[in-house]
Amino acid sequence: MAALKTVRIGLWVAVVALGLTAAAAAVMLRQQQPAEGGFGKGVYSLVDQNGATLDQSMFVGQPTALFFGFTHCPEVCPTTLAEMTGWFEALGDEGKDLKAYFVSVDPERDTPAVLREYVSWVSDRITGITGTPEEIDKIAKAWGVHYERIPLEGADYTMDHTASVFLLDAKGEFQGTIAYREDSAVALGKLRNLLAKS
């Protein structure tokens, strides 16, 4: 009787121990993911508006404003690019280190040549980025960017997409976002904070 009880307790101890190990493993896994990758981290092979290859190192060395969009965008993208122009103008010399990237979530239509003229309208401070659909998917997933192709009447389509601008410090670490149509004083405050930290 006593022996059986001991075995039973032993079994329970084993079960609890197993459970604890599983829980610990789960916690470790969860903690490991950001350590290995982290928000926005990954290996990308993309092309800029001039056809030059770019990888994840593009975010290192200067503070960055990162935006995902597409040239067939009726409103959010042109508005955000126009607002970016305003930020660059308002920051003047203070913002001389700031870089901006416009990553297309519609790489099938947004070739480097299409992007070149589109972003050139803003300034030489913003770089248009495209790539294969697979690579675009990787960078979008890394940044938690939602994008989805929505058919329109005829053969045309539009893209739903995340409209926030991501702010990265000089190490390429995520520091915050500027929301679509955020008050320009608030947006400038965020950019000045970012520049001060970088």
Return residues touching Cu ion (CB under 5 A): 69, 73, 76-77
Minimum CB separation from another protein for residue 55, in Å? Answer: 25
d(CA 98, CA 92) in angstroms, rounded, equals 10
- Please return the burial class of 125, using the count of CB atoms within 10 Å of its CB with bins 0-12, 13-18 and 19+: middle
**Residue 76 contacts another protein per CB under 8 A:** yes
d(CA 103, CA 167) in angstroms, rounded, equals 14
**Residue 149 contacts another protein per CB under 8 A:** no
**Residue 186 contacts another protein per CB under 8 A:** no
Q: Residue 70 or 95: which CB sits closer to Cu ion?
A: 70
Minimum CB separation from another protein for residue 198, in Å? Answer: 23
Contact residues for 189 (Cβ-Cβ < 8 A; gap 6+): none
Dihedral pair phi/psi, residue 177, rounded to 5°: -135, 160
Contact residues for 120 (Cβ-Cβ < 8 A; gap 6+): 49
Among 98, 114, 140, 191, binds another protein (CB under 8 A): 114
Interacting residue ranges for another protein, rule: CB under 8 A: 71-76, 78-79, 81-83, 114-115, 117-118, 120-121, 146, 150, 152-154, 156, 158, 160-164, 177, 179-181
